[in-house]
Each structure stands twice: as structure tokens, then as C-alpha cells.
Amino acid sequence: MKVAVLGAGAIGAYVGAALHRAGADVHLIARGPHLAAMRQHGVQVLSPRGDFSARAHATDDPAEVGPVDFVFLGLKATSYAACGPLIEPLLHSSTAVIAAQNGIPWWYFHRHGGSWDGTRIESVDPGGTVSAVLAPERAIGCVVYAATELMEPGVVKHLEGTRFSIGEPDRSLSPRCDRFSAAMRDGGLKCPVETDVRGDIWVKLLGNISFNPISALSRATMRQMCLHGGTRRVIETMMNETLAVAEALGCRPGISVERRLAGAERVGDHRTSTLQDLERGKPLELDVLLAAVVELAEITGVPVPTLHTVHAISDLLADRMRSAA
């Protein structure tokens, strides 16, 4: 099995190292000092489950890799529309694309069924620019329940979680999902194949849609947000509004707001990925987390006043960052 990891940052390099350990033909596509370190020393993974290293092929030129069976997409969703030149050399007629993104994916309504089947979500696929590069029929849904960070070039610290839930947009149990899941399991990761991965998307989104923008606005950690009474109530309201949108679309995530908040509090003083991006001056990945759900609320007629308010303020922050950049 030949796999390219396009955007081999903390999560991408971690998955690539695990697949390489399982015997897959893995190619890590990255740039800068991180690429140089992986070329020289491979990927070093530091984990409470046991440290390991993997010397997979690393490059900044996808043409050097050629067509693969699977592309594991580790890029931020904000980069999808522009990744055409990078991904095109990796594709053959049946190449599958597994996007490890947070939030609502560009393929969400592909083979969804019902009255919204085929609907394009402007927030995540503006003008169809993402679908033009990443054909929805190639997509395998993926929800990441693992936390990693890049300690230094070539060194990934695995903090917690090993689960990568995957599934087909049409809810089928496909051979390509089974094949990828088996390789991930052989590499020491959990990779259940879900008949309805959209449920996992909403479970993960309950936290991302609330904690991520609030953390950027407040500069607070997960624990600090949970322990501040007023902020906790805002987050709880955001989660309940999000559940109402999910249910209007026919999806009922199997988790309560109370359980989601308790799990977030247990994470402790962790800085969300959005807060880390803010501190590093990187674009904020809020369109797929927050703007998309506000758009879906408008489509379904669900009132989401708190989501609208937080979206307006965090969008101003993102605009200011873009102007500064």
C-alpha cells in the first residue's frame, strides 16, 4: 500500500510514522526545517505509549512520489483550494483522499441523501474551488481524536488519543476503508470504520466550535474556559445550538453537552489549535468550524444567536490577522 502524507506536520508525521511501522510505503511531503530533519533523522515520535522512530521517504516534491493509493491530507482546511499543484501528481484513477480536518468537510453533502444531497457549503467550498481540486468522490471521512504537537523539526510529541475514525460519505463499508483501517491498526493506531462518520464529525465539532474561537478571543486554556462560570455557560449554549443544527440535518450525536464539557475539563491546561495558530501568526481555521455551522443553521432555519455573535467577533479577529499578514 502506497501512501502520501501531504502536509506532514504533527498529525501527518505521526500517522505517517505509524503506517511506515506497519510496513506501508509511506512518503512524507513537507517543507523547511521539519523536512530537513525528517530527511536526516526520520520522524521521532515521543509518546506515553512508547517512543519510536520511522525513516520514511520525505520530500517537498510530490512529482518525486508519483501516484499513490491513499493521500492522507494533513494540511489546514484553509489551504485546500490552493493545493491542486501539490496533490495532482499523487492521484491515479482510484486514489482516495483522507482529510484529517476539524469541522465540516467540503464533501459533507456528497451522497448524503435526502433534500440536501449535493448541496455545496459556501463557507468551506467557496465557489466550488475545493471540490474542483479534491473531488468529493475521492473523499474518505476522517475524524481525529489524537493530540500531537511538533516539539522541534522532525520530533512529534504524542499527547493523548490514537483514534482516527473513518467512513464513506455514502455510509457504505468499502474495501478501501477496510484496507486503510487495517494498516493503521497494524501501526498501533485505532481506526474504526463507521457507517455514519458524520456523527463523529458533530461530536468532535461540539468542542471545536466553542472552545477554539473562545480560546482565541480569551487566550485561555481548556481548563480555564471550563472553570470560568460565565464562559462555561456561553460554551454550553454554543454546544446546544450546534446540536440543534445537527438534529435538523438528521444527525444525532451520541454525546451530551455535560459529558463533552467534562471531557474538555479533564484535558487540563491545553491550548487549542486555534489559539496556537493565533500565537504563531497563522491563519485561523474558523470557517469550517464556526462559519459553516452558521451557514447550515440558515439553510435549516435553526436559530443560533450565540453562534452568530461569536462568529462575528472571531471573524473580525481573523480579518485583522489577515490584514497584518
Q: Does residue 92 carry a pLDDT above 90?
A: yes
Q: Is the dihedral of CA 64, 65, 67, 70 positive or negative?
A: negative
Same domain, residue pair 94 and 236:
no
Query: Which pairing describes strands 70-73 and 2-6: parallel, antiparallel, or unpaired?
Result: parallel
Q: Does residue 174 sit in the same domain as residue 205? A: no
Q: Do 171 and 313 fall into the same domain?
A: no
Q: List the grid coordinates of 228.
A: 470560568
Q: Please give the Cα distance from 306 to 202 (Å, whole number).
A: 18
Cell output for 134: 479534491
For residue 51, CA distances in Å to 36, 85, 95, 156, 161 come to: 21, 35, 31, 10, 15
Q: Is residue 183 domain-shared with residue 203, that is, in the same domain?
A: no
Cell of 275: 489559539
Give the tens place of pLDDT for each residue, 152-191: 999 999 988 999 999 999 999 999 999 999 999 999 999 9
Mean of the per-residue pLDDT values of the chain: 95
Are both 107 and 157 inside the same structural domain?
Answer: yes
Residues 189 and 242 in one domain: no
Positions marked active-site: 204
Residue at a domain's end among 180, 195, 210: 195
Question: Is pLDDT at 325 greater than 80 in this prediction?
Answer: no
Q: Looking at the chain, how many residues does it have?
A: 325
pLDDT in the model for residue 9: 94
Confidence class for position 255, pLDDT limits 50, 70, 90:
confident
Buried b (16+ CB within 10 A) or exposed e, 56-93: bbbbeebeebebbbbbbbbbbbbebbebeebbeebbee
- 169/90 same-domain check: yes
DSSP state of 272: P
Residues 300 and 225 in one domain: yes
Backbone angles phi, psi at 187, to 5 degrees: -85, 0
Number of domains in the chain: 2
Domain boundary, last residue among 158, 177, 195:
195
**Is residue 230 predicted with pLDDT exceeding 80?**
yes
**CATH number of the structural domain spanning residue 27:** 3.40.50.720
Q: Are residues 90 and 232 in the same domain?
A: no
- Residue-level pLDDT at 197: 96
Print the domain residue range for 25. 2-195
- CB distance 282 to 324 below 8 Å: no
**Region of residue 301 (left: phi > 0; alpha: psi -120 to 50; beta: else):** left
Question: How does DSSP assign 185-236, residue by residue?
Answer: HHTT-B-PBPS-HHHHHHHHHHHHHHHHHHHHHH---HHHHHHSHHHHHHHH
- Residue 299 CB coordination number (10 Å): 14
Query: Angle formed by the axes of helices 292-300 and 305-324, to 10°?
Result: 140
Q: pLDDT of 38-70, one tens digit each?
A: 999 999 999 999 999 999 999 999 999 999 999
- 39 and 107 belong to one structural domain: yes
State residue 115 phi and psi, 5-degree precision. Answer: -70, -20
Q: Are residues 218 and 234 in the same domain?
A: yes
CB contact at 8 A, 320 and 278: no
Q: 90, 67 in Cβ contact below 8 A?
A: yes
Which pLDDT belongs to residue 58?
A: 98
Check residues 166 and 256 and name the one with the higher pLDDT. 166
Do residues 169 and 209 share a domain?
A: no
> Mean pLDDT, to the nearest integer, of 196-220?
95
Of 177, 113, 167, 171, nearest to 142 by C-alpha is 167
Residue 225: predicted pLDDT: 96
Domain harbouring 283, CATH code: 1.10.1040.10
* DSSP letter assigned to residue 287: I
* 325/199: higher pLDDT: 199
* Residue ending a domain, choose from 143, 176, 195: 195
Looking at residue 124, its pLDDT comes to: 95
